[in-house]
Amino acid sequence: MDHLMKITDLNVVFHIFGADVHAVRGIDLELNKGETLAIVGESGSGKSVTSKSIMGLIPNPPGEITSGEILFEGKDLVQYSQKQMQKIRGKDISMIFQDPMTALNPTMKIGKQIMEGLIKHQGLSKHDAKERAIELLQLVGIPNPEKRVDEYPHQFSGGMRQRVVIAIALACNPKILIADEPTTALDVTIQAQILDLMRDLQEKTGTAIILITHDLGVVANLAKRVAVMYGGKIVETGTLDEIFYNPKHPYTWGLLSSMPKLHAKTDKLLAIPGTPPDLSHPPKGCPFAARCPYAMKVCIDHMPEYTELSKTQKAACWLLDERAPKVDPPSTIGVGGEA
Amino acid sequence: MGRYILKRIGYMIVTFYVVVTLTFLSMKMLPGTPFKFANRLSPEQLNQLKHYYGLDQPVPVQYLQYMWNFIHGDLGGSFQYGMQPVTEFLMQRFPVSMQLGIESMIFGTILGILLGIISGIYRGRFLDWGMVTLTVVFISIPSFIFAAILQYFFSVQIRIFPVIGWSGPMTHVLPVISIGVGVMASIARFMRTEMVEVLNQDYIVTAQAKGLSTSAVIYKHAIRNAMIPIVTVIGPMTAAVVTGSLVIENIFAIPGIGSQFIDAIVTNDYPMIMGTTELYAALFIVTIFIVDILYGVIDPRIRVSGGKPS
Amino acid sequence: MTSSNHDITKDLFTLADLGDTAADKIAGESVSAWKDALRRFVTNKGAFISMIIIALIVFFAIVGPHFFGYDIDNQDVSRANLPPKISGLEWIPAFSGHENGVDVYKEKNVKTAYWFGTDQLGRDLWTRTWHGTQISLIIALIATLADVLIGVVYGGISGYFGGMTDNVMQRIIEIIAGIPNLVWIILLILIMQPGLLAITVAILATSWLSMARIVRGEMLKLKNQEFVLASRTLGASDRRIIFRHLIPNSIGMIIINTMFSVPSAIFFEAFLSFIGLGIRSPQSSLGSLINDGYQMLQIHPYQTLYPGIIISLLLICFNIMGDGLRDAFDPKLRR
């Protein structure tokens, strides 16, 4: 199957305070038409940088894509100029952001903010663009859109603003929608509404979604495939079921263990001890070695390669090497409290 | 909004009342009241003066009389010019000062905003560094020193502009630059800070993610948001312009209230000093008021909710 | 898909002994806020150079007036209006003792070289300029110290106690702030008669406002933070909270604001002296010297030049240093 987007060996470096921070270190990813891929990881794992790279929004300086390619419908976006990227952004690939409170221009009517992209990419007249903006507001479930189209962001609640942000992103029927922590800043009840909305919209429009999050609950809700990132690398990828029910990488185990569970026998939350590696001096071996309870001598100096576990699942861990001792995943990783 | 305006007008009146009262009190406390200048005045004038101020009456009565006169636009007579009403002088000279002030503000604000925007867009680059340095220098150097330098080079050395005077566009250039450069630097600095802050906002990324061109992002999203707070500095800036114009009018012999004021200080013309002081205060208070209201009008967040600008 | 790497041997596949420390170690040393600020300040070249220039000016302001043994009011019309001359540096046009191509020293038959020249009464400008710098700095220093004291106390009380106290105190500030500085200052000076004290008080009368507002803002911000609540829960007194928690945490803002008060005080002194409300002859300040020199600008520009350069340098350096300190204390504001 031809991929809608294929990222190969992407490397992103930030030159900050005389040091080079290797935020993304050689990741490979594919995205198929209409599917939802979740990129999961804690802050600083490189997931947001990856999404910004796809959008061509890495600020340069200090950021720089040092190597790799991002093929979108066969064309390499890394080689695109800013001008060429402007034609892609908002039209073929668009993005929704974490904090709806700050993602909208406070001094511009929301209608106008939706119309901008339509006028630029689809050449609509002001009048038609406004019609379409009202349609979009309706689509994302904003009541009374004819009136609200002329209001300013501060007149909307957080959840409503996130709906507006989604309307802006979907304005030109993009092929890919990147959602960077779309629900993190919202109340729990609103989170569910927004996730429902995104699922509905995906069914209607067939847009592929790249979901960036640290919240496995959101992942379970929306994603079909999952990539787990740690220390600028993808440590494990697989289908939703594979990652949740048959994870192979100790970091994935840690993530799953730290997820609060409804029916868990213990009310203790399990944390992964330690902090993520300093990416200005990235570790030579496995980035997770320093925090990994199963770390072996080999892990410290040698980066493990991927082990293909099924057609869809692979993980980078020395434990999967035949020479490694056999380790069973901890019992705490069970989803939904079956454990 | 209406309530807010009313509240502000209330404050304005209280403040101005305090100023006028303070002025009256300092007049009472002045070392040597008008009688100190008895030697400059004829006996009739002296009597006239005594009678005029009712100085034989108790202070509270004098105060009421003073306020009464003040409300009726009578600020007393100038010692220097044979008791000619101060109001007359002020009315005659005020437009000149106003013109100088407005020209300087326009010059400084427009240039300052432009420089600030450019500096903010190119932050961290050499161009930005140069502008930041330049603005510190221009903010620091007092306007009268700047005026002296301009005068020396452009009027004494290469005679492009007249040394002094206020007649025709050429005479406006140096005074307006002298005052305006400080305004320019302050506004450029402020504008740069705002611009950098706005460019770091999430909604700029949203705009970029829509595929807008860089220039569209800057024009439609960044500049407008960065410019709104500029209104807040224009108020205090007016005070600086008044301070500046005071000396600048003196240096370039411009017939405004500033040069009149310094003249009055030098000749101990107390009624004139008081009148000018009150005029300056009124000007300042009204400007701050207008600026606050303007801010409310420009910023939709305040306009709709009717809240107090923070 | 497993390793083809030949130097990975079987014995590497044993548990690594990382201990507990490796995982919990936090990258980078921990630096106190003060040390961090100091480090940022020192690496700021502009601020550092400014500090050195200010130190030099202060040094000359103390030592300079005693260089040649003249008093600030030693007059001698026979040596009036001599241009600057420095023996040994005559090859520099600015210090040649020539004016419009004429050797004024030869003409007036004066042997001594005057480094900054003399004024129209024949007073040595070197002595007067540094003496004037001294006066300007003293005024600025006193005004600023008093302003810190009043501002911190007023703002502290207003912000800490809040409620009605705060309300009344803020209304007072609002009204005072509604009166332009200039008006305030001129009224005060007229009442008190121009002079050192009058200028100091007048500058002080306006400058404490901004300090009071900043301190109040800091207090309001800090007093509701958890560490203060924690301290209060543990039974700390108001005094202890103010002196142990609130003031140490707002000291950065206070220092920054002080740094900007100094140049504004220097400016106002110069401004007042320039319009004739400041220091009177024979005393000198930078403003009065510029005023004296300005009368002679077209004929003897050097008389304005040196006081003008020194005051400009002082103001520029204080402002750059203030910027540097602000950046150092609050990297968020760094732009």
Instruction: Flag whether the pTM goes above 0.95.
Output: no
What distance in Å separates the CA atoms of residue C241 and residue C228, rounded to the nearest whole number?
Answer: 7
Query: Which 8-state DSSP code applies to residue B94?
Result: H
Specify the pLDDT at position A335: 53
Q: At CA B57, angle to CA B52 and CA B61, rounded to 5?
A: 90
Question: A238 pairs with which residues across the strands?
Answer: A226
Model confidence at B26: pLDDT above 60 = yes
Nearest CA among A113, A89, A222, A216 for reference residue A161: A113
Question: A16 pairs with which residues across the strands?
Answer: A19
Phi and psi at A93, nearest 5°, equal -125, 125
- The letter for the amino acid at B248 is I
**Structure confidence at residue A267 as a pLDDT band (50, 70, 90):** low
Model confidence at B285: pLDDT above 60 = yes
Please give the residue of chain B at the shortest CA–CA distance from C186: B277
**Min CA distance, B111 vs chain A (Å)?**
24
Q: How far is CA A146 from CA A107, A131, A135, in A?
A: 19, 9, 9
Burial of C10 (0-12, 13-18, 19+ CB in 10 A): exposed
Whether residue A247 is preceded by a cis peptide bond, meaning omega within 30 degrees of 0, is: no
**Structure confidence at residue B1 as a pLDDT band (50, 70, 90):** low
pLDDT in tens, B132-150: 888 888 988 888 888 888 8
Phi and psi at B245, nearest 5°, equal -65, -25
Residues 133-152 on B with a CB inside 8 Å of C are 133, 136-137, 139-142, 144-145, 148-149, 151-152
- The letter for the amino acid at A169 is A
Model confidence at C6: pLDDT above 60 = no
| A neighbour chains, 3+ CB pairs within 8 Å | B, C
Using the Cβ of C270 and the Cβ atoms of chain B, whether some distance falls under 8 Å is answered with yes
Specify the pLDDT at position A269: 64
- Option in C1, C12, C26 nearest A298 (CB): C12
**Min CA distance, B208 vs chain A (Å)?**
8
Model confidence at A320: pLDDT above 70 = yes
A257: which 2 tokens? 């263990």
The percent of residues in chain C predicted with pLDDT above 70, rounded, is: 79
CB of C84 closer than 8 Å to CB of C302 = yes
Specify the pLDDT at position A296: 81
Please give the residue of chain A at the shortest CA–CA distance from B225: A107
Model confidence at A338: pLDDT above 70 = no
**Structure confidence at residue A268 as a pLDDT band (50, 70, 90):** low
What distance in Å separates the CA atoms of residue B94 and residue B200, rounded to the nearest whole number?
Answer: 44
- DSSP three-state, residue A263: coil
Using the Cβ of C276 and the Cβ atoms of chain B, whether some distance falls under 8 Å is answered with yes
Chain C residues whose beta carbon lies within 8 Å of the beta carbon of residue A324: 13
Do residue C276 and residue B137 have CB atoms under 8 angstroms apart? Answer: no
Burial of A201 (0-12, 13-18, 19+ CB in 10 A): buried
Domain ranges for chain A, please list them: 5-223, 230-333
Q: How far is CA C169 from CA B245, C39, C172, C185, in A?
A: 33, 38, 5, 21
CB of A153 closer than 8 Å to CB of A102 = no
Using the Cβ of A308 and the Cβ atoms of chain C, whether some distance falls under 8 Å is answered with yes
B156 versus C73: which is more confidently predicted? Answer: B156
Q: Which CATH class name applies to C127-333?
A: mainly alpha
| Count of pairs with CB atoms under 8 A, one residue in A, one in C | 61
Model confidence at B205: pLDDT above 60 = yes
Angular region, A309: left φ>0, alpha ψ -120 to 50, beta rest: alpha
- Averaged pLDDT of chain C: 77
- Domains in chain B (CATH in brackets) are 87-257 (1.10.3720.10)
Predicted ipTM?
Answer: 0.81
Among A245-254, B264-273, C17-26, C139-148, the least confident range: C17-26
CB of B182 closer than 8 Å to CB of B248 = no
Model confidence at C4: pLDDT above 70 = no
Q: β-strands A225-230, A36-40: how paired?
A: parallel
- Averaged pLDDT of chain A: 84
Cβ within 8 Å of residue B225, ≥6 positions away: A105, A106, A107, B194, B198, B201
Given the structure tokens 């309307």, which residue do they identify? A167
The percent of residues in chain A predicted with pLDDT above 90, rounded, is: 4
Q: β-strands C102-103, C98-99: how paired?
A: antiparallel
Using the Cβ of C12 and the Cβ atoms of chain A, whether some distance falls under 8 Å is answered with yes
pLDDT in tens, C192-232: 777 788 888 888 888 888 888 888 888 888 877 888 888 88
**Min CA distance, B268 vs chain C (Å)?**
9
Q: How far is CA B304 from CA B88, B237, B290, in A?
A: 43, 27, 18
Do residue A154 and residue B304 have CB atoms under 8 angstroms apart? Answer: yes
Model confidence at A217: pLDDT above 60 = yes
How many Cβ atoms sit within 10 Å of the Cβ of residue A73?
Answer: 13
Do residue A106 and residue B300 have CB atoms under 8 angstroms apart? Answer: yes
Specify the pLDDT at position B49: 66
Domain ranges for chain C, please list them: 127-333
pLDDT in tens, B93-107: 888 888 888 889 889
- The letter for the amino acid at C216 is R
Specify the pLDDT at position B40: 63
**Structure confidence at residue B305 as a pLDDT band (50, 70, 90):** very low
**Average pLDDT, stretch A70-75?**
86
On the CB side of C160, how many CA atoms lie within 13 Å of its CA?
19
What distance in Å separates the CA atoms of residue C185 and residue A84, rounded to the nearest whole number?
Answer: 61
Question: C102 pairs with which residues across the strands?
Answer: C99
- Option in C183, C304, C308 nearest B19 (CB): C183
Phi and psi at A27, nearest 5°, equal -105, 150
**Min CA distance, B202 vs chain A (Å)?**
5
Q: At CA B111, angle to CA B110 and CA B115, rounded to 5?
A: 120
Specify the pLDDT at position B56: 65
Dihedral angle computed from the Cα positions of residues B119, B123, B126 and B128, in that order, rounded to the nearest 10 degrees: 20
Name the CATH code of domain A5-223 (choices 3.40.50.300, 3.40.50.720, 3.40.50.1000, 3.40.710.10): 3.40.50.300
Model confidence at B111: pLDDT above 90 = yes
- Option in B12, B145, B246 nearest C308 (CB): B145
**Structure confidence at residue B114 as a pLDDT band (50, 70, 90):** very high
Among A243-247, B14-18, C182-186, the least confident range: C182-186
- Option in A278, A289, A296 nearest C27 (CB): A278
Model confidence at C144: pLDDT above 90 = no
Specify the pLDDT at position A52: 87
**Structure confidence at residue A134 as a pLDDT band (50, 70, 90):** very high
- DSSP three-state, residue C121: coil
Specify the pLDDT at position A266: 60
Q: Return the residue in A58, A81, A91, A107 with the most chain B beta carbons within 10 A, the one to mutate for interface testing.
A: A107
